[in-house]
A and B are shown apart, each in its own frame.
Chain A
Amino acid sequence: MKGLTCLSATLLGSLLVSAPGYADPQSDQDEIRTFFQKRFPKVELAGFADGAYAINENARSQWLEIEEFPPYEDAVDEGQEYFETPFANGKSYADCFPNGGIGIKQDYPKFDTDSGEVITIEYAINQCRTSNGEEALPYGQGELAYVSAYMASTSRDNIINVIIPDDERALAAYDAGKRMFYERKGQLNMACATCHISIAGSQLRAEITSPALGHTTHFPAFRFAWDDIGTLQKRYAGCNTQVRAKPFALQSEQYRNLEYFHTYMANGLPLNGPGSRK
């Protein structure tokens, strides 16, 4: 245990001071892969997309049984209906997205060099709505999450490909996301990295903490804790609350930057959303 703490403290330290000025995303990605492939040598790189189910046999077998009748099936069908229903002005989601919105989720989040902000798929869904005279939907769950789930289902098996353009603002957004991931917060004074890098694979009460590598590939996810589909950022808010930190608003700049960094770490892994989780 002590050896692990020393190792993880050193590793965390080295990851934070790895580059002068802004972070170097490619070397961050190399480091995170090296770290997890060393900790879980039996897992193939693509396998990390299964999260905790890649590193625990018992949990994996239960998850595979659940996937016999995937709990997100109905939500995907409902999401498809919402996706295909035109807006009042006659246009539809297909008009806002490349390739009509089919098979594109693996490219999100994107950095919009015009507006200078990170665009997640959920953010883009609402941008599409408001630019076509529709009301924005609440983030995190419900109709918007179902549309995101449908879009994820059409993108299954595509390789995550988040791009950081050669733009200082994009690097700054990535860096802000990375800092948020590694900074301690809340009354319990824990960082995302505490559970999902330092002690990834250990038991935290009744849970196996999942590795940060491949975290984002299966969202939005049907979580039994929610008894419904929810987005990645809904989980961010939940995790922040669990360390007794006040969560940011869903799709706030902070969470979008975090998602940008977080998803970039999963580049090269297959998208396998929507997923089911306990």
Chain B
Amino acid sequence: MKIKAKMKKDMAVVKVLAKHPMETGLRKDKKTDKVIPAKFIKELVCTHGDKVVFHADFGRAVSKNPYVSFSFAGAQKGDTIAMTWTDNTNETLTVEAPVK
């Protein structure tokens, strides 16, 4: 996950690129004719301290390497935010980033 978080006046503007195959589970491998198993992010959450400042429910319709941009109030330069995704196979990843 690549994260950029920057203060713009009193809002923190966050841009995230989640590297994930977002495999729908509806495609077939052309060589083996077997279905490629589904693997897609179901939930993307951003926390600032103990507060959830962003929550998205994704599904198989979201494309590979989803890009998300959002802003939230209540942060200041030097704070840390944490982005977490959880996918349909229950794999999860958390990455922290500083607010610049």
In the bound complex, what is the Cα–Cα distance between A227 and B67 (angstroms)? Answer: 15
- Asked if A69 contacts B64 (CB within 8 A), the reply is no
In the bound complex, what is the Cα–Cα distance between A235 and B62 (angstroms)? Answer: 26
Q: How many A-B residue pairs have CB under 8 A?
A: 16
Q: Which chain B residues (23-67) contact chain A, with CB distance < 8 Å?
A: 64-65, 67
Which B residues are CB-close (under 8 A) to A57?
none
- Asked if B64 contacts A68 (CB within 8 A), the reply is no
Chain B residue nearest to A66 (CB atoms) is B67
Check if A65 is an interface residue, CB within 8 A of chain B. yes
In the bound complex, what is the Cα–Cα distance between A250 and B15 (angstroms)? Answer: 38
Check if B17 is an interface residue, CB within 8 A of chain A. yes
Check if B2 is an interface residue, CB within 8 A of chain A. yes
Chain B's interface size range is under 10
Check if B100 is an interface residue, CB within 8 A of chain A. no
Check if B69 is an interface residue, CB within 8 A of chain A. yes
Which A residues are CB-close (under 8 A) to B77?
none
Which B residues are CB-close (under 8 A) to A227?
64
- Asked if A69 contacts B2 (CB within 8 A), the reply is yes
Q: What 1/0 flags go to B1-16 for Cβ under 8 Å of A?
A: 0101000000000010
Which A residues are CB-close (under 8 A) to B4?
68-69
In the bound complex, what is the Cα–Cα distance between A68 and B2 (angstroms)? Answer: 10
In the bound complex, what is the Cα–Cα distance between A69 and B4 (angstroms)? Answer: 9
Q: Which chain A residues (54-85) contact chain B, with CB distance < 8 Å?
A: 65-66, 68-69, 71
Chain B residue nearest to A74 (CB atoms) is B19
Chain B residue nearest to A227 (CB atoms) is B64
In the bound complex, what is the Cα–Cα distance between A115 and B47 (angstroms)? Answer: 63
Chain B residue nearest to A62 (CB atoms) is B67
Chain B residue nearest to A69 (CB atoms) is B17
Which B residues are CB-close (under 8 A) to A69?
2, 4, 15, 17, 67
- Asked if B64 contacts A65 (CB within 8 A), the reply is no
B32 smallest CB distance to A (angstroms): 20
Chain A residue nearest to B4 (CB atoms) is A68
Instruction: Count chain B CB atoms within 10 A of each CB in A65, A66, A68, A227 and give the residue with the most.
Output: A68
B1 smallest CB distance to A (angstroms): 10
Which A residues are CB-close (under 8 A) to B67?
65-66, 68-69
Q: Which chain A residues (110-165) contact chain B, with CB distance < 8 Å?
A: none
Q: Which residues of B contact A (CB under 8 A)?
A: 2, 4, 15, 17, 64-65, 67, 69
Q: Which residues of A contact B (CB under 8 A)?
A: 65-66, 68-69, 71, 227
Known contacts A69-B4, A71-B65; can you find 14 more A-B pairs with CB under 8 A? Answer: A65-B15, A65-B67, A65-B69, A66-B67, A68-B4, A68-B15, A68-B17, A68-B67, A68-B69, A69-B2, A69-B15, A69-B17, A69-B67, A227-B64
* Cβ contacts A to B, 6 pairs, < 8 Å: A65-B67, A65-B69, A66-B67, A68-B4, A68-B67, A69-B17
